[in-house]
Structure 1
Amino acid sequence: MSAADVVAVLAAGLGAGILTSTVGVASLLSFPVLVAVGLPPVTANTSNTIGMTPAGLSGSFGYREELREFPRVTGIVLVTSAVGAVAGSALLLGLPGSVFEVVVPWLILATCLLVGIQPTLKAWVRRRHPDGHHDQDPSRMPVLTRVLATVTGVYGGYFGAGSGVMMLAVLGLGTSLEFRTLNALKTFAVMVSNVVATVVFVAIAPVDWRAVVVLAAGSVVGGYVGARIGRVMPEALLRGLVVAAGVTAAVLFWVR
Structure 2
Amino acid sequence: MVEFANSGFSLVLLFGVALLGGLINGVAGGGGLIVFPTLLFTGMPAIEANATNTASLWVGTVASTIAYRKELISLRRELLLLTITSVTGGILGAQILLHTPQATFTTLLPYLMLTATVVFAFGQPLIRWLRRHSSARSSTQAEYHLPLVLALLLQFGIAIYIGFFGGGAGIVILAILELMGWRNIHTMNAMKTWLATCTNGVAVITFIAAHAVLWWQATLMASAALIGGYSSARFAQRLHPIWVRSFVISVGCAITIYFFVH
Instruction: Give the CA deviation at 1:152.
Output: 0.8
Instruction: Give the CA deviation at 1:158.
Output: 0.8
Number of aligned residue pairs: 248
Per mean C-alpha deviation after superposition, the further-off stretch among 59-68 and 1-10 is 1-10
2: CA distance, partners of 1:191 / 1:70: 16
The correspondence for 2:129, drawn from 120, 126, 150, is 120
Are 1:252 and 2:255 matched, yes or no? yes
Instruction: Give the CA deviation at 1:44.
Output: 2.4
What amino acid is aligned across from residue 61 of structure 2 in structure 1?
Answer: G
Instruction: Give the CA deviation at 1:214.
Output: 0.7
In the other structure, the counterpart of 1:79 is: 84
The correspondence for 2:51, drawn from 28, 43, 46, is 46
Unaligned runs of 5+ in 1: none
Instruction: Give the CA deviation at 1:128.
Output: 2.5
2: CA distance, partners of 1:111 / 1:33: 18
The correspondence for 2:114, drawn from 105, 109, 112, is 105
TM-score using structure 2 length: 0.74
Are 1:64 and 2:87 matched, yes or no? no
Residue 170 to residue 222, structure 1, CA distance change in 2 (3 Å): farther
2: CA distance, partners of 1:87 / 1:229: 38
* Residues 62-89 of structure 1: CA deviation (Å, up to 9, x unaligned): 3333333545544444223212111211
In the other structure, the counterpart of 1:208 is: 214
The correspondence for 1:169, drawn from 157, 170, 175, is 175
The correspondence for 1:13, drawn from 9, 18, 21, is 18
* Residues 162-204 of structure 1: CA deviation (Å, up to 9, x unaligned): 2222222222333333334333333333222221111111111
Are 1:158 and 2:164 matched, yes or no? yes
| Contact 1:145/1:174 (8 A) holds in 2 | yes
2: CA distance, partners of 1:92 / 1:196: 13
Residue 232 to residue 165, structure 1, CA distance change in 2 (3 Å): farther
Instruction: Give the CA deviation at 1:111.
Output: 6.9
| Contact 1:116/1:239 (8 A) holds in 2 | no
Per mean C-alpha deviation after superposition, the further-off stretch among 88-97 and 126-135 is 126-135
1: CA distance, partners of 2:136 / 2:163: 37
Instruction: Give the CA deviation at 1:244.
Output: 7.3
Instruction: Give the CA deviation at 1:25.
Output: 2.8
| Contact 2:22/2:31 (8 A) holds in 1 | yes
Are 1:199 and 2:202 matched, yes or no? no
What amino acid is aligned across from residue 47 of structure 1 in structure 2?
Answer: T
Are 1:89 and 2:94 matched, yes or no? yes
1: CA distance, partners of 2:24 / 2:7: 26
2: CA distance, partners of 1:243 / 1:71: 37
Residue 15 to residue 181, structure 1, CA distance change in 2 (3 Å): farther
| Contact 1:84/1:150 (8 A) holds in 2 | yes
* Residues 131-188 of structure 1: CA deviation (Å, up to 9, x unaligned): 64689xxxx9733222212211110001112222222222233333333433333333
| Contact 2:37/2:255 (8 A) holds in 1 | no
Partner of 1:16, secondary structure, is: helix
In the other structure, the counterpart of 2:39 is: 34
Q: CA RMSD in A?
A: 3.7
Residue 174 to residue 18, structure 1, CA distance change in 2 (3 Å): farther
In the other structure, the counterpart of 2:3 is: none
Give aligned-pair identity as a percent.
23
